[in-house]
Amino acid sequence: MANKYNAVNNMDARALFLNREVYKESALKDAPTTVVRDFWNYEDIYYGRTDASGNVVLPLQARLKPLPDTGDNILYALDFVVEAFRDFKRIANRKMLDGCLPVENLDGSEEPYIGPFKPKRAFRSTIGGYSKRLNSLYPLFVEAYLLGRNQYQEVLDFDSFIKGFRYFLRHAVAGRYALNLSNYALSPSCCVLNTGLAIDISDDLSAGSDVAKEKNFIDNPRLKFYMNLAQEYGFYIDKNVPWRLVANLGSPIMQNYIVKHFPSYMGTDSLFEEYFQSAVYKDIDIIKNYMVSYYNRLVANRPVEMVPNNSNTCFIRHDRHRITKQQVFEQYNDDYWIETYVELRSLESTIGYDHHAVQFIIKNAQDLAKKVDNTRAIDYIDYKFRGVTSAPRSYAYDSISASLSGGEPLSAKEKEKIIKMVAQSENTVIY
């Protein structure tokens, strides 16, 4: 029988788009929304990565527990997710032992997914991935950028190093890398696995292959059992990754598991307060730490630089010296780091503030830090750059774009400008 869903990542762009649309519109369309959820939908893509107020959050390490039946490869999820999955798997095992759930396929092969329900992937550390990303920036800056431009002589101390690094980020990296932890947590490098709310029962199937989804799950005669069991224990099935179970935080069943581990549970807001921490408050400290680390790596690798004099007739020896975090904290005040942070947020953002607007945000944030505290300043900065209205593929972006198409003809550039103006107006705040 011919496949209904044929999209695979190695297709040409047009064929891939058309086939993805077929899957999006018809795959699992009759499944209840309480069971199957589309986490590739832009408004759902941040599930568990932001709280109800839009704050970027990370699961607390202390709330992660090991999953059963993972062998030597220990996998983790949030404690209530682990317990719900343990009961989910126990019932499936009982059904197989009772003969109600066949362990073999029609061709005699052993069913690898729906029935065994062996955890293959679960919690993935956002901070770990972010650290790898930041570490990859250092060789780009020092070896490719400085060496390529022969600019080692321009970064002789920490002050000139950090100025050069900021220039590098502005002109060579902007838009290509998530530079702050809070933005990295929302980037395509992360997904619902980073929340502690999700468990994969396969690690050998590709989310890029709709063929694999159809063969192993959509056409699997055990699919209905799988969906019923997921609902019974408070899980979603990810429409685009059907081997992924995601805790349904709105499910009364999942909430019962939450209460067992968190007796004072009072709704989703309280859950995020108890189980998660804000990512944005870590941003500036991480920036400081990495700037110090980067510079000291340069000192270790190139402790001495021979700098030509003004007439280029001879060279003067210049020694680079290590710097401590304490020295950085003493020499560079909050104003400096707020300015650096706003600049980085602006480079990452699609919201499109012009130079004047960015400077205005910097001044307001610096004033808030002095008159209130740094937390209030960071909250203000975060508010000015949050939201998905300016992000292509979001519902808000597509809605505005569609409304603009119905009137006077506008160029793509003009549409983009209007959408960014709308996004900026949504983030207006009196502080």
pLDDT tens across 61-76, in order? 999 999 988 878 899 9
Across 283-307, average pLDDT: 91
Q: Residue 168: what residue type?
A: F
Q: Is the dihedral of CA 152, 153, 157, 162 positive or negative?
A: negative
pLDDT of residue 228: 95
Distance between CA atoms of 385 and 390, rounded to whole angstroms? Answer: 10
Q: Which domain holds residue 241?
A: 30-124+190-261
* 82, pLDDT greater than 90: yes
Question: Tokens 């610096």 identify what position?
Answer: 366
Lowest mean pLDDT among 47-56, 173-182, 299-308: 173-182
pLDDT of residue 390: 46
- Under DSSP, the state recorded for 281 is G
Cα separation of the two ends of the chain = 63
Question: Of 229, 261, 293, which closes a domain?
Answer: 261
Lowest mean pLDDT among 80-84, 146-150, 294-298, 304-308: 146-150
* 400, pLDDT greater than 50: no
Question: Tokens 């207006």 identify what position?
Answer: 428
Q: Is the dihedral of CA 243, 248, 252, 257 positive or negative?
A: positive
% the chain with pLDDT above 70: 88
Strand 57-59 versus strand 276-278 pairing type: antiparallel
Q: Tell me whether residue 272 is in a domain.
A: no
| Whether 114 and 246 share a structural domain | yes
Question: Of 239, 261, 283, which closes a domain?
Answer: 261
Q: Is 252 exposed, middle or buried (0-12, 13-18, 19+ CB in 10 A)?
A: exposed
Contact call for residues 91 and 97 (beta carbons, < 8 A): no
pLDDT of residue 347: 85
| Whether 96 and 236 share a structural domain | yes
Which CATH number characterizes residue 41's domain? 3.30.1380
* 416, pLDDT greater than 60: no
| Whether 244 and 390 share a structural domain | no
pLDDT of residue 71: 79
Q: Tell me whether residue 62 is in a domain.
A: yes
| Whether 249 and 386 share a structural domain | no
Closest CA to 25 of 248, 240, 206, 241: 240
| Whether 226 and 79 share a structural domain | yes
| 402: confidence class by pLDDT, cuts 50, 70, 90 | low
pLDDT of residue 167: 85
pLDDT of residue 286: 92
Across 122-127, average pLDDT: 96
pLDDT of residue 1: 52
Q: Tell me whether residue 100 is in a domain.
A: yes
| Whether 68 and 205 share a structural domain | yes
Lowest mean pLDDT among 24-28, 61-65, 260-264: 24-28
Q: Tell me whether residue 280 is in a domain.
A: no
Question: Of 261, 291, 314, which closes a domain?
Answer: 261
Q: Tell me whether residue 417 is in a domain.
A: yes
Q: Tell me whether residue 4 is in a domain.
A: no
When divided into structural domains, the chain yields a total of: 2
pLDDT of residue 244: 98
| Whether 113 and 247 share a structural domain | yes
Across 203-210, average pLDDT: 94
Closest CA to 116 of 235, 243, 241, 219: 243
* 203, pLDDT greater than 70: yes
Q: Tell me whether residue 196 is in a domain.
A: yes
Distance between CA atoms of 357 and 361, rounded to whole angstroms? Answer: 6
* 176, pLDDT greater than 80: no
Tokens (6 digits) for 113: 């997914």
Distance between CA atoms of 380 and 361, rounded to whole angstroms? Answer: 9
| Whether 214 and 353 share a structural domain | no
Lowest mean pLDDT among 42-46, 83-87, 89-93, 320-324: 42-46
pLDDT of residue 27: 93
| Whether 357 and 238 share a structural domain | no
Distance between CA atoms of 103 and 320, rounded to whole angstroms? Answer: 66
Closest CA to 337 of 296, 279, 288: 288
Residues 426/57/78/177 CA torsion (nearest 10 deg): 100
| Whether 256 and 399 share a structural domain | no
How many CA atoms, within 13 angstroms, populate the side-chain half-sphere of residue 191? 19
Q: Tell me whether residue 48 is in a domain.
A: yes
